[in-house]
Amino acid sequence: MPPVQMESEHPDDDRIRVERRDDGAVVVRVRSSGTGAEKLPDAVFAFRCGDPQYAYWLARLRPGDDPPR
């Protein structure tokens, strides 16, 4: 199953991608806004059921997607 990406509803959505992996984890990727030598690496966060922010990021997936079981 390919990663599920969110639809744009929030101001920074052009820099944020939310995916749900097959194991149920929600992965949030935030692109760096710097340029050239000043550009930082992209930030990647993973949340699993029980993590405080898991439900928030799961809700940011496209409407109609089933949560992992």
Residue 31 near residue 42, CB atoms below 8 Å: yes
Residue 9 near residue 63, CB atoms below 8 Å: no
pLDDT tens for 19-63 read 999 999 999 999 988 777 888 889 999 999 999 999 999 998 865
- The pLDDT value recorded for residue 28 is 95
Residue 58 near residue 20, CB atoms below 8 Å: yes
Instruction: State the total domains in the chain.
Output: 1
- The pLDDT value recorded for residue 44 is 96
- The pLDDT value recorded for residue 18 is 92
